[in-house]
Structure 1
Amino acid sequence: MFTLRQLEIFREVVRARTTVGAAKALNVSQPLVSNMIRQMETKIGFPLFERFGNRLVPTPDADEIYQDSDSIFSIYQAFTHRIEARQRSESGHLRVVGTPPMANALIPRALKEFVSKRPAVRVHLDTRRITGVLESVQTRTADIGLGLNPPEREGLAYEVLAMAQMVCVFPPGHPLENKLALTSQDLAGVPLILYEQNSSLDLAISRDILTAELRAQAIAEVRYSSVACLMAEVGMGVAFVDSLTASVGDRYRLSARPLFPSQPVPICLITRKGEPAKRIQANFLAELRRSPTLTALQEFGGEMPDRDR
C-alpha cells in the first residue's frame, strides 16, 4: 500500500508536526513532503492529519499507523546498519581452510590483525590436507584456501602469495650446522625424515636433491611438516620442511639450512575461478598479503652463492 519512503516521510511529519520540519530533518524539499502526504491520504481515503494553523496533528488513525510501522523501521534500521557494517567489512562470515603449515604459521597471525579491527566478523578456520583444501573451496565449504605447492584442479584459481623453499632442520649442534647450505652429498649417510611419496611437499624436492640413495636412508615418512619438526627435534633424523614452518617464531628448537640448489615451494591462495571476492574476503586477503610472516621468508629466498661448503 505505502512505500518505505512514504512511511519514512509520514513518520517524520508525525514527529515534527510540520512539513517544513520534516523536510529539514530528511534533507528534502517541503513541497515533496506535502505532496507525499496528500498521495498517502488519497490512496487510503481518509485524512492523516488535522491542520491547526501551521501545525499538523495526527489523527487517531495516523497514530495507529505510526505505531504499527515501528517494527518495520526497527527491522529496516537494523538491516541498514548491517549493510553499512558490511561496506566497512566489520561484520559477516569468513571461512578459511588451509594445510597444516598454513594453519600453524601463517593464517592465525593474519586473522588476529584482521579480526582485531572487525570484532563482529565471525571466522571459521579448518585444517586439511591439500586435497581436502581444494575440495572445500570447490564445494563452497570454504571461501578461501591456502596451501603449499597445490596441484592444479579445474574450476579453481591460484595466486602465489610468496615463495618459500624447502630446508633441512636438525637440533642445534648437529654437524650440518656448520654448512651455509646443503647439497645431496652433504646428506649422504644421514638418517632422514621424509614425506609420503608424491605428496605436495615430497614433490617440492627435486629428484636431483632427493635421490634414490637418499630415499634409502629414510627412517620415517610423515604427512605433516610439524610432525617432521617434532621428530627432528628429538634427534631421530634430519627433516625436510618448508621454510614457512621452519622460520615462524621459536616454536621448534631446531636449526635450519637451505638446500642447494634452492628448492622453491609456492605459498598459494586458492579460490573459485571466475568468482569475484566478497568484500570481507578481499579485505582479509589484503591483510594476508601484508603479513610479516610472508616478508620474513625473503631471508630464505634466491639462489645460494657458489662457494666451498
Structure 2
Amino acid sequence: MNLRQLEILRAVIRHRTTVAAAEELALSQPAISNALKAMEAQAGFTLFERINNRLFPTAEAMALYEESEAIFALHARLENRVRDLREQRTGHLSIVATPPLAYSIIPPTLSGFLRRRPQTRVFFDVRRYEGIIEGVLGNVAELGFALGLSDHPGIAHEVVHTGEMVCVLPPKHPLAERPVISAADLADFPLIGLERGTRLGEAVRESFAQAGAPFQPSVEVRYCNTACVLAATGVGAAVVDPFSPQQGGHDLVVRPFTPATKVSAYMLWSEAKPLSNLAKTFRSEVRNASRNLAGGSVSADASHEARAQLKLESSRA
C-alpha cells in the first residue's frame, strides 16, 4: 500500500463518504471508490462497511490508520522543512504532547515563544503517551511532554511540574460542597473511571485500593478531558489530573482528592541527537511557565490546607 493509497484511506475514515474524501483530495468520487477496491484487493480483507450510504472503517482499517499516523507526521515535517528552505525561514521546532499538557501549559508558552520569534515555524502534535515516545525516539519531534513516565532507553527527561489528582463534579452534585473528596465518598455515586492499563487509570485504581474503597465506574474513558466533559454534563464524578479541568471552560466543581495521588509532568528528548538552540530555549520557557502554574487547578498547597481543615473539623466533631 503506497502513500497515496494511505492518504485516501485516511480521508475516507475521517469523512465517512467517498464524495467528501474526493473533495478534500481534489479527486473524482469514482477514483476514490476504485482506490478503495484496489486497496482491499491488495490487503486481502475488507476495509469499510457501508451503512446508510456512509462508510464505517473496520478494525483492520483503523489499525492501518493508527499505524500510518507516524508516517504522515514525518511526511508533514519533511514538507515543512522543504518550505522553510525555500522561503529562507530562520528556524523550525517540533513538539508533541499528551492532551492534558497540550491544552494547558504548552499553548500560552508557545504563544509567547512565537511572539518573540515571528520567523520560527512550529510542528505541534497531540498524541497518546505511546505516540510521544515514538515521536521523540523517531526524531519526529525534538521535545515531548507527557504525564507520568516509564523508563525508556535513549530518552532524557526532567520533571517540569508535580501536582496531585483532583476530583471533578457537576455543580449540583451532592458532594460539591465538601472541601475534600475521598475515594470512600465516591463509592455511592456514579463514577467516571480512567481506562485500565493507562498510567493515570492505574494510579486512580491504586488510590481506591489504598483507601479500601470499591472502584466501580459507570463509564470508562481514556482521556481526562473526556472525563471532565462527561462530569460537566452530569454523568458522574471523576478523578483526573490537575491540568484537564482547565480545558474548554467546563462548568465543574474541582476539589482535592484523597488519598493524595501524585502526578508529574515530564519533558522528554532524545539522547541520540543534541537539541537545537530553539528547542533548548523552548525547554527553558516551559520550565519558567511551570513555576507559575496556577489558574483553575487545585494546587498542592490548597489540597494540603483543605485536608488539614477537614481533619480539624473531624477532631472537633
- How far did residue 165 of structure 1 move? 1.5
2:123 corresponds to 1:124: yes
1:252 aligned partner:
250
CA separation of 1:283 and 1:208: change in aligned 2, threshold 3 A = closer
1:107 aligned partner:
106
Please state whether the residue corresponding to 1:123 is helix, strand or coil: strand
- How far did residue 206 of structure 1 move? 5.5
- How far did residue 142 of structure 1 move? 0.6
- How far did residue 293 of structure 1 move? 8.2
| CA shift digits 1:216-267 (9 cap, x unpaired) | 2x11111111111111111001011111112x37611101111123211000
- Range 263-272 or range 167-176, more displaced: 167-176
Mapped to 2, the partners of 1:262 and 1:91 lie a distance apart of 46
Q: TM-score, normalised by structure 1?
A: 0.65
- How far did residue 291 of structure 1 move? 1.7
1:271 aligned partner:
269
CA contact (8 A) 1:166 1:204 kept: no
1:291 aligned partner:
289
- How far did residue 203 of structure 1 move? 2.6
CA separation of 1:199 and 1:102: change in aligned 2, threshold 3 A = same
CA RMSD of aligned residues (A): 2.5
Aligned partner of 1:307: which letter?
Answer: L
2:219 corresponds to 1:214: no
- How far did residue 106 of structure 1 move? 1.7
Aligned partner of 1:139: which letter?
Answer: G
Mapped to 2, the partners of 1:293 and 1:193 lie a distance apart of 30
| CA shift digits 1:266-303 (9 cap, x unpaired) | 00001113644221011111211222685217852154
CA separation of 1:226 and 1:201: change in aligned 2, threshold 3 A = same
2:143 aligned partner:
144
Higher helix share: 2
CA contact (8 A) 2:170 2:236 kept: no
The structure with the largest alpha-carbon Rg is 1
Residue 307 of structure 1 is aligned with which of 299, 312, 315? 312
| CA shift digits 1:109-165 (9 cap, x unpaired) | 111010000001000011111011011101111100001012221111121001122
1:227 aligned partner:
226
Aligned-pair identity (%): 32
Please state whether the residue corresponding to 1:118 is helix, strand or coil: coil
Please list, as runs of the form range in 1=range in 2, the aligned pairs for 1:13-162 lying within 5 A after superposition: 91-162=90-161
CA separation of 1:242 and 1:127: change in aligned 2, threshold 3 A = same
CA contact (8 A) 1:164 1:244 kept: no
Please state whether the residue corresponding to 2:240 is helix, strand or coil: strand
CA separation of 1:131 and 1:230: change in aligned 2, threshold 3 A = same
CA contact (8 A) 2:161 2:266 kept: yes
Aligned partner of 1:215: which letter?
Answer: F
CA separation of 1:172 and 1:197: change in aligned 2, threshold 3 A = same
Unaligned regions of 5+ residues in structure 1, if any?
1-81
Please state whether the residue corresponding to 1:226 is helix, strand or coil: helix
CA contact (8 A) 2:103 2:247 kept: no
CA separation of 1:237 and 1:299: change in aligned 2, threshold 3 A = closer
Task: Report runs of 4+ in structure 1 exceeding 4 Å deviation.
Answer: 210-213
1:238 aligned partner:
237
Aligned partner of 2:289: which letter?
Answer: S
